[in-house]
Structure 1
């Protein structure tokens, strides 16, 4: 995956217990002994109901399996290092590739997958979401009090003021079984009524490598729940941070920092599959997972999808980041239908700075550089490829270096070589509104593609181009267009089951201020208690926080009902009353499509009272997997004891009772019939009428019945069907078209985005 240059840390060995994307194909026992074959970590999925009766426990059964592989395995009691018994069933173990192959054909084993690597995917954003401290959903839900959000991430910095428990009583629910584990520079006493759980799942095979591995800026990760990378601290405080007055980063984005659900509780889990299993067993209500990196062809090959299936089945709402490979199509990393996939947008907050060219032209960009003299002298501009061979004193001394997508390390190299400044060109971001800012230690300005084109034209036209950088050292709020889908935000279609639309929605992810470990370096030698980051990693916890508010207000809602409420009430217009735009260069005309924005921008207040919701459950997802022609053994990875498919979804994958529609019209008939069932979650009798928006010249859409009448009691259900009939194929390059189906009453508006696909 591609990542924001602000936090492109590879989590690698830190996030252990995540199986990789390649299943181990069955094969017969090897006749050769591979004495030198390296061991790796594998996850072994089992059908736990198949345990032979002569084993008293599953652990004894698993131990016997591993011991049977070789005399060495029989004598090594440490080969198994995690057991799974909640969201999945099985164990993690140290195995050679040959042992993994032989174990995969052992009776009772549903699958064996190799360990892999996953990557990491405020003062303003809560108010931009419409969250008011004095009225609406925040006070109505007591700011998310007593809802527990579990974070699977790099850990947490417990000393951060965002995790103070002032005014919070102990968790009142008896079913909370969270643990607080000791480790390197972390002990249980650091937890409190805000940080109610902190656990670390080390990989015995990767311990030495993990301790030796270093991150950018020299960060070495702790063997404990303590966060050194900073990502987990930032994410957790974004979703559920307590109020912190006076938050800022070097004078920028000043204000009171608070999470979306500031009284929700935080439980940090530093691992992946093992962490999800533990979090669900502990009793979390919400899971926020800002991780990704797999583009597997099947869900059963993707251990996080398997684990999160179990989490949702247990009633836990799961939010996952969409990924940072946009604007490339089909670049999403988390597409399982049972999770909520979140893309990223900007805020209506910018940090303006100006480049004044030698011809008098002024180009507007953004910067987090603090410069007391307001402007730099007029000096020469030097286009550069910003490699090590370019960044030497003889070439750049005293010059402003112009590079593409400069990161903090490059800025430090320019400064070390005597450069007087940096201009960072963002090739994918059209305007300045969506630019990712960075706290450079030398004068620096970031430009979008539109302004960059002007700069390039000037440099080409002048044999001695010069410029001055001008800084206001300020923060502008409410003046720029927002939300706009970030260029880096990963896009659909869904690469596994394209009839299920992903991403589901978008939320603030660009230039988000949140807590940071005050020992972890930023750019250069500087440290701070807050940091500004950009990524779908930052948008995901916003939705997790909103889900925590909804869970507080609607304890009887399923995860799917929460997702539906968020999706069907999402905004499609920006703060200027125009369709939400796409900040990617060349993509702004016509607004962001659902392949970039999903249903739109999350609106917490509206989601609290959606009127109707689309629900689903294990049976629906199993029928989807059957529709995808998964074998019984493959579905058994999700549902132990699964005997075989008895039903599939009418209409194919698009027949899942999802809040959005994808009408695949690529077959010869050009007709698709999809059914949906809605559940009324509001009081009182109500009549809803269907309204359809579609490209009339290409497709005909008929909703039957066109009116839904509800008697008035909660949880009343009504079903309807939609016939999508292609009139003609669109022109080349236009094989995706979009529309919407809206159910309207006098009180509610329930909107579902629709994608029409011909190829």
Structure 2
């Protein structure tokens, strides 16, 4: 493979290289220190250092020559590390100016003396963005109205690239029925045979060259087969074909479809079960995806502590992607509700939080005193009797039913057992033990941090899963009587929950650590109890029907990100000339901030959700197709922004590769607040406690339009928009305006104030969140570990 250079560090091979390339002779060095531990490093090469294309036919051969200049040729200990002879793992063309190689620390020190060297970044593992515990799985997102699919032709001809852990290629969600051939621009390949690949799944590859050095047992070659349900689930959410009769354990029966059911799928396996996702494999996959012709990248992985953008593969690869017109949707992370836990923070990425949906699988616990407590159950046994069973708790242990000695027949047979989530057993394992011991059923109480959110699983015995507040009521009832009883009443699938959508408790919150002047997450999409394709559901051994064995519910920002990926493909199809930033703006400025009660969207505890949880709001695909105005940005517009963050010239040049290198001193300073972003974040942390923000909007609606500014803010903040009216004469016309934000009475009293700027016309409302803080969220606003120069 031309892109992958394999350099054999042995004396014989290096002699051959020198014979072919005499000009290298003076540069070859012998480190004499190759007995150390070999590890994978991402090696960043200095720009504008370029290779002589008359000498090196490919970038891989050039990178191989650089590695040869420090690779020890005399003391390779193949007995200690047989794989050490293959050193160059990936040679990157697009995502970064550099390569991934397997070297020792001593060889890194030797590299540091070379004029082409910038830095070496040690190997790092990323992880898929499912929820923390096995209990967190879920149901579908909102249905699309015919208007959106008609306008976009269901994403026909678009190519969505998914980076994940594998795919069940033969699943009916990836059937080619109704699909045309991929567009002529597609240059990728499918490593499955021709009977598996088709006009729906047009690409399937595995990237493991870096991972296999750390994780023994990864076969060579690797096919991108499904490792867990994750990759199949996310792929079908973004672009799954129509599957009539889909259901989750007999519930939610209907026709399954992804957000863009006529879009093509290109799958890139970069993660492996119980191992994670290797940074350098992620970079390699994005490197190829942007070359192969994808329109959208869906990336449901990340790192809780990804750090600076110049070392983060999603940020690095994402920048190259948007530079080439590829939209990138990423998951916000699953470390909520704690503050400052958001992942994938780069402003050129769409960072997606997760919300609940309005569908529940209702299971009611009817207490002996007549009180009914609603919970959920994914598997609902048909004709289950409404018998009042004796109700017992794990009072000897910690309440979690994790001690197998307490789950014996003499304790639980013929009874409903109340267990709390947690402990050293999963909820499925608890249910299995109780089933074996003859329990009539289980009532499972969710953890406190989940609030009112319940995520059911297909247990092997009758179960009702209830929220923590309901669990407190249940336990109080049990204390009030000597003989507590309860019945389980199954009510099936119920729609129309009033307090939805609500922000999921696990969904990571802002503020962003890497760029605190940019509101992250950007937007929220369905991510709780999402029904989508799997290779086989967890839990119940025998699903109630054949299709129930092919679909399951999962939860996480991993599930919300592909919703937005599919919607981005629909928008891209309807508006092929829009930039990734324009698509992002269309989504963010048309969101919903009210739930079905027409009250502000809440969090899991029923409190009004903050912008750090919700971003701009919950996606509204119908409005996003016709936003009226967009806040547009080119890839180059992010460069002075990165300089203002404190990145060095080398770091910025590495991020924007393959664009020409830059000098930050020669660029106009662009503060975070002035990046032409669809949201506004300012700090009133010093006198005179007033800040002005610059923005520009592009008319993408009707040729002539007039928009009037409308501001909603707390009384403690005053906002002036100049000019207050924008008049457009034609499509694509750009108008600039200034927003001045000041504390009404001196210093801002509250720590954070939230509001919004709306540009209103007869046809559109273009809404931008405004977040005002009385102080910086973090003391040090410099991201880079190098001094800017």
Same fold (TM over 0.5): yes
Q: How far apart in 1 are the matches of 2:571 and 2:215?
A: 41
Structure 1 residue 250: deviation in Å?
A: 1.6
8 Å CA contact 1:403, 1:422 repeated in 2 = no
Cα distance change, pair 221–158 in 1 and its aligned pair in 2 (3 A): farther
Structure 1 residue 746: deviation in Å?
A: 1.4
Q: How far apart in 2 are the matches of 1:639 and 1:74?
A: 38
Correspondences of 1:607-756 after superposition (within 5 Å): 607-640=624-657, 641-646=660-665, 652-696=671-715, 698-711=716-729, 713-726=730-743, 727-729=745-747, 734-756=750-772
Tell me what 1:549 maps to.
570
8 Å CA contact 1:67, 1:73 repeated in 2 = no
The counterpart of 1:119, out of the listed 118, 123, 127, is 127
8 Å CA contact 1:694, 1:738 repeated in 2 = yes
Structure 1 residue 48: deviation in Å?
A: 6.1
Tell me what 1:206 maps to.
212
Q: How far apart in 2 are the matches of 1:710 and 1:513?
A: 44
Q: How far apart in 2 are the matches of 1:72 and 1:376?
A: 78
Q: How far apart in 1 are the matches of 2:742 and 2:568?
A: 36
> What does the per-residue CA deviation read over 1:184-215, in whole Å, with 9 as the maximum and x for residues that have no partner?
xx434411111111111123652683537xxx
Structure 1 residue 652: deviation in Å?
A: 2.3
Structure 1 residue 645: deviation in Å?
A: 0.4
What SS does the aligned partner of 1:281 have? helix
Cα distance change, pair 222–240 in 1 and its aligned pair in 2 (3 A): farther
8 Å CA contact 1:349, 1:480 repeated in 2 = no
Matched, 1:257 2:267: no
8 Å CA contact 1:273, 1:307 repeated in 2 = yes
Q: How far apart in 1 are the matches of 2:463 and 2:698?
A: 53
Cα distance change, pair 309–578 in 1 and its aligned pair in 2 (3 A): same
Q: How far apart in 1 are the matches of 2:370 and 2:75?
A: 78
Correspondences of 1:87-486 after superposition (within 5 Å): 87-121=95-129, 125=140, 128-129=142-143, 131-133=144-146, 136-171=147-182, 173-181=183-191, 186-203=192-209, 206=212, 209=215, 211=217, 223-271=222-270, 272-372=282-382, 373-375=384-386, 377-383=388-394, 384-388=399-403, 392-393=407-408, 396-398=411-413, 399=415, 400-404=417-421, 407-416=427-436, 419-428=439-448, 432=452, 434-462=453-481, 465-472=484-491, 474-486=492-504
Structure 1 residue 463: deviation in Å?
A: 5.2
Q: Which stretches in structure 2 are left out of the alignment for 5+ residues? A: 1-28, 77-83, 130-136, 271-281, 776-789
Structure 1 residue 542: deviation in Å?
A: 0.7
Structure 1 residue 422: deviation in Å?
A: 2.8
Tell me what 1:21 maps to.
none
Larger radius of gyration: 2
TM-score by length of 1: 0.87
Q: How far apart in 2 are the matches of 1:628 and 1:322?
A: 21
The counterpart of 1:560, out of the listed 575, 578, 581, is 581
Structure 1 residue 156: deviation in Å?
A: 1.3
Cα distance change, pair 395–666 in 1 and its aligned pair in 2 (3 A): farther
8 Å CA contact 2:297, 2:327 repeated in 1 = yes
What SS does the aligned partner of 1:540 have? helix
Structure 1 residue 737: deviation in Å?
A: 1.6
Matched, 1:82 2:83: no
Cα distance change, pair 123–256 in 1 and its aligned pair in 2 (3 A): farther
What SS does the aligned partner of 1:496 have? coil
Structure 1 residue 723: deviation in Å?
A: 1.0
Cα distance change, pair 681–103 in 1 and its aligned pair in 2 (3 A): same
8 Å CA contact 1:699, 1:728 repeated in 2 = no
Q: How far apart in 2 are the matches of 1:205 and 1:541?
A: 25
8 Å CA contact 1:39, 1:96 repeated in 2 = yes
8 Å CA contact 1:211, 1:222 repeated in 2 = no
Structure 1 residue 394: deviation in Å?
A: 7.0
The counterpart of 2:610, out of the listed 586, 593, 600, is 593
Cα distance change, pair 48–421 in 1 and its aligned pair in 2 (3 A): farther
Per mean C-alpha deviation after superposition, the further-off stretch among 718-727 and 77-86 is 77-86
Q: How far apart in 2 are the matches of 1:557 and 1:66?
A: 41
Cα distance change, pair 234–396 in 1 and its aligned pair in 2 (3 A): farther
8 Å CA contact 1:123, 1:257 repeated in 2 = no
> What does the per-residue CA deviation read over 1:155-192, in whole Å, with 9 as the maximum and x for residues that have no partner?
21111111111122212x322111112xxxx4344111
Tell me what 2:13 maps to.
none
8 Å CA contact 1:111, 1:637 repeated in 2 = no
Q: How far apart in 2 are the matches of 1:116 and 1:524?
A: 37
Tell me what 1:12 maps to.
none
8 Å CA contact 1:610, 1:748 repeated in 2 = yes
Q: How far apart in 2 are the matches of 1:118 and 1:615?
A: 31
Q: How far apart in 2 are the matches of 1:510 and 1:695?
A: 32
Cα distance change, pair 460–333 in 1 and its aligned pair in 2 (3 A): farther
Tell me what 2:6 maps to.
none
Q: How far apart in 2 are the matches of 1:528 and 1:101?
A: 54
Tell me what 1:517 maps to.
535
Matched, 1:570 2:581: no
Q: How far apart in 1 are the matches of 2:113 and 2:621?
A: 49
> What does the per-residue CA deviation read over 1:3-34, in whole Å, with 9 as the maximum and x for residues that have no partner?
xxxxxxxxxxxxxxxxxxxxxxxxxx999947
Matched, 1:497 2:515: yes
Matched, 1:71 2:92: no
> What value does the CA root-mean-square deviation take over the aligned residues?
2.8
Structure 1 residue 532: deviation in Å?
A: 0.8
Q: How far apart in 2 are the matches of 1:743 and 1:396?
A: 65
Cα distance change, pair 530–619 in 1 and its aligned pair in 2 (3 A): same
Per mean C-alpha deviation after superposition, the further-off stretch among 486-495 and 668-677 is 668-677
Cα distance change, pair 543–205 in 1 and its aligned pair in 2 (3 A): closer
